[in-house]
Structure 1
Amino acid sequence: MRRSPKVSDATGTTPVVKVAQGLGKVSAAEWDRCANPGSPNQAGGDETHNPFVSHAFLSALEESNSVGGRTGWSPIHLLVEGSDGTLDAAAPCYLKSHSMGEYVFDGGWADAYERAGGQYYPKLQVSVPFTPVTGPRLLVRDGADDGARDVLLGGLRALRDQIGASSTHLTFLTEGESEDLAGRDLLVRTDKQFHWVDDGFGDFEGFLAALASRKRKAIRRERRDALLNGITIHRLTGRDITEADWDAFFAFYIDTGSRKWGRPYLNRRFFSLIGERMADRILLVIAKRDGRPIAGAINLIGDVALYGRNWGCIEDHPFLHFEVCYYQAIDFALERGLKRVEAGAQGEHKLARGYRPVTTYSAHDIADPGLRRAVADYLTRERAYVAAAQEEYAEAMPFRKGEVE
């Protein structure tokens, strides 16, 4: 752990700004008081516990070597200690030598800048690795010294300049955090995802009743057909998840990852570590045929939302992906009283299954004025495109007219 340049806050005091090259020496309790203070975060979100920014999740990435080493994701977390030595704020930050595993694509920016003679890498990435899930990125504990968020952002800019990074990217921000950073001269980028939102449905049948008749019949048929051929569905949480279950799920994950992008990001040890540390925050959905696991999906459980992450299978069956990833998630959310299901990146096919278009946000702090101007111009046009697309998606939602705004 080392200190970065000092940054004074608005009160004139000088907080201590440190860089931690890993969470091993950072108190889990202090980090989590910033990441998940138990009330809606100060960045404008409604979630009171986002499992992805927890010490347990991020440290599991490090201890399993899913980040660090030659992965191109080098932990370089920023910490702000207040006048009494307490951790007031933190940012999960990584020094990046590429743009993979981020789900906010800036490869075109890198190519253009390097063709013009610049050096885009290294860059700083404030995010949860391999995780396209909205959440706070500038983590500030309740009761922190005034100006802690300003100091954290100032520390990121000082760190960027100190190490010669081209830029800092804060991805999958809450809307409130993106608005705050736009007011601090960062460039805001938008994109889209599809989330299921509980509109007071009560149960799955209540959800279906809100859909247009044709869509309702299609979902019932998909759920029925997914369970043909002797397939059964099993939902596991907490102590019910065994190492054998993780073995099965990892086989699914490897198969899908290898076919989609060549090298899956997460290794087997990572899943054991989160199983040890945060099993009560995990929902593992396993499909079996004649008692043999053939497919599965992992979800993480917040206080407000269920977050779908990885899916995989070793046998292909019609509609099984929809059942395991989408319909089981909706069932679970309704049973737990969760407000929404966030089903990850991309996937327009989710729209027909009751998932709604939502806007996602990122913010970008670019050092070179020329590159900044070019990116700012591009983002103006891209935001307009995303907004127009969202309007079209909203028109295509499968709900009966008048049932859902």
Structure 2
Amino acid sequence: MNYRTGVISSLEEAGEAAWTALLAKQEPDRAPNPFLSFAFLHALHESGSASADTGWQPQYLVLWQGEELAAAMPLYVKSHSYGEYVFDWAWADAYHRNGIEYYPKLLSAIPFTPVTGPRLLARDAEARAALIAFLGAQQQAAGMSSTHILFPPEDQVQQLEDAGFLLRSGIQFHWLNQGYPDFDTFLATLEHKKRKNIRAERRKVREAGVTMRQIRGADAGDEDWRFFHRCYSNTYAEHRSSPYLNLDFFRRIGRTMPENLLLVTAERNGERIASSLVVHNGHTLYGRYWGAIEHVPCLHFETAYYQPLEFCIANGIATFEGGAQGEHKMARGFLPTKTWSAHWLAHPALSDAIERFLAREGGGVDSYLDELNERNPFKG
């Protein structure tokens, strides 16, 4: 079948209606991944958070058949490796030591967002195959060092390996809702020590005079977004870093996708002192952003974990993805889950070296996963 192919630097070139229609076909039995929505991606680009100026130059691949967007791939030209959560700094260093340029590189991911979701967006298997072939042609024509596809779903991993990509595995921690009627019922399923620790952490926050408030996106005003961004930026500053996302981005998603957003704020003596933002779509809640302007012991756990868990239970949300890393999440009822990335490297010798490294690393990840599963936080 013939497709009209293209590379676009703005989602407006595809159009919101066409993008939304294609996204709806990825997992037709469930709500689309909110991070792949036109609203979220367009806000990243239009706010300047993910742009050529910040080292994230959009070059999305699109395949059209007539007026229908048949396939697409979020793709960026990257001039660094910040904001990816699959770390390849050592690879860049190896290239540098061998006198070879590693940047720019091609990257398919949701900027600053370590969330698994479709990367090969297609209406059917035939269009997906054509998209993979188009990607291969672009890789060869671009003359860049490599292509990296981060956090693809498992059903796309084999297709990428068949297309010549090297696979890399990692681990995240996800909470699964077993139909708990309330938070105490969930707690009752945990080992005694973990249950006791969670209750102690929540009690410390209450005894510090802190009260919590959940604000759905539709009810959040500009003052809420400004305060949240102040907290978010302050936490980066405390770690001597710069925030990836600006206030304009948060204001934009607050306007365009409020049904997917929940703000949690902490208050003491009538003043707000902390806030977190989570994203959800009816079946999955994603822990994302947090910050505080005042330190209170255990407040992070209450704001970024326990309040969102209560929201999941109250709204029948099946999964809470806790974000990157964080073995400490297991003590709070989260379980280890394998994640994937796929990598194509143009230089044959360095590709072979990285393939050997990934084989060793993958064995270590599997052993670590087995070890974690032996430390299941739930009652036997």
Identify the TM-score tier after normalising by the shorter chain: over 0.9
Q: TM-score, normalised by structure 2?
A: 0.97
Matching residue's letter, 2:116: T
Distance change in 2, residues 1:378/1:397 (3 Å): same
Aligned match of 1:6: none
- 1:40 counterpart (27, 51, 55): 27
Aligned match of 1:4: none
**Counterpart-to-counterpart distance in 1, 2:126 and 2:208:** 60
Does residue 104 (structure 1) correspond to residue 86 (structure 2)? The answer is yes
Does residue 344 (structure 1) correspond to residue 326 (structure 2)? The answer is no
- 1:116 counterpart (70, 95, 98): 98
Contact 1:194-1:350 at 8 Å conserved across structures: yes
Aligned match of 1:136: 118
3-state secondary structure, aligned to 2:114 = coil
Aligned match of 1:91: 73
Question: What's the offset of the Cα at 1:49?
Answer: 1.7
1:65-115 Cα offsets, whole Å, 9 max, x none, are 111132010011110112x33101111111001111100001111110121
Contact 1:36-1:54 at 8 Å conserved across structures: no
**Counterpart-to-counterpart distance in 2, 1:261 and 1:164:** 35
Contact 1:36-1:50 at 8 Å conserved across structures: no
**Counterpart-to-counterpart distance in 1, 2:146 and 2:52:** 21
Distance change in 2, residues 1:261/1:159 (3 Å): farther
Runs ≥4 residues deviating over 3 A = none
Matches within 5 A, 1:174-213: 174-213=153-192
Unmatched segments (≥5 aa) in structure 2: none
- 1:63 counterpart (41, 46, 60): 46
Aligned match of 2:271: 292
1:213-264 Cα offsets, whole Å, 9 max, x none, are 1211111111111122221111111321110000110011101122336111
Aligned match of 1:9: none
3-state secondary structure, aligned to 1:147 = helix
Question: What's the offset of the Cα at 1:162?
Answer: 1.9
Matches within 5 A, 1:228-377: 228-260=207-239, 262-377=241-356
Q: TM-score, normalised by structure 1?
A: 0.91
Question: What's the offset of the Cα at 1:320?
Answer: 0.7
Does residue 54 (structure 1) correspond to residue 37 (structure 2)? The answer is yes
**Counterpart-to-counterpart distance in 1, 2:196 and 2:154:** 35
3-state secondary structure, aligned to 2:12 = coil
User: How large is the RMSD of aligned CA atoms in angstroms?
Assistant: 1.5
Distance change in 2, residues 1:261/1:17 (3 Å): farther
**Counterpart-to-counterpart distance in 2, 1:242 and 1:310:** 18
Question: What's the offset of the Cα at 1:367?
Answer: 1.6
Question: What's the offset of the Cα at 1:47?
Answer: 5.3
Does residue 161 (structure 1) correspond to residue 140 (structure 2)? The answer is yes
The structure richer in helix per residue is: 2
1:361-403 Cα offsets, whole Å, 9 max, x none, are 11111222112111111111111111111111111221100xx
